[in-house]
């Protein structure tokens, strides 16, 4: 939950959203709590790399 479905999504986006990128199962099937946590960690690590690079210029946060 938390996502609004407007019906405006294209088929490609819808297909991407419907399949979990971690376990490759349909997102409306099974439990993807761990998958979302893995994804968040990946994003967090990626953002941290970016912020580390920026911190050289902008300082902490
Ligand atoms: Zn999953």
Q: What is the pLDDT of residues 24-36, one digit of tens each?
A: 999 989 999 999 9
- The position carrying tokens 């970016």 is 50
User: CA 12, 16, 22: angle at the middle one, nearest 5?
Assistant: 165
Question: Could you tell me the distance, in angstroms and rounded to a whole number, from the CA of residue 34 to the centre of ligand 1?
Answer: 7
Please give all residues whose CB falls under 5 A of ion ligand 1, grouped by chain where several chains appear.
Answer: 20, 22-23, 32, 35
Buried-state track 19-45, b at ≥16 Cβ within 10 A, e below 16: ebeeeeeeeeeeebeebeeeeeeeeee
CA of 2 to the centre of ligand 1 (A): 17
Any residues with CB less than 8 A from the CB of 9 and at least 6 apart, and which? 17
- The tokens of 55 are what? 């911190």
* Least confident span in 10-14, 39-43, 50-54: 10-14
**How many angstroms is it from 59 CA to the middle of ligand 1?**
36
Going from the Cα of 7 to the center of ligand 1, the distance in angstroms, rounded, reads 23
């Amino acid at each position: 939950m938390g996502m609004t479905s407007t019906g405006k999504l294209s088929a490609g986006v819808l297909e991407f959203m419907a399949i979990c990128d971690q376990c490759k199962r349909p997102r409306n099937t099974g439990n993807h709590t761990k998958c979302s946590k893995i994804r968040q960690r990946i994003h967090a690590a990626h953002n941290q790399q970016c912020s580390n690079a920026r911190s050289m210029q902008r300082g902490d946060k």
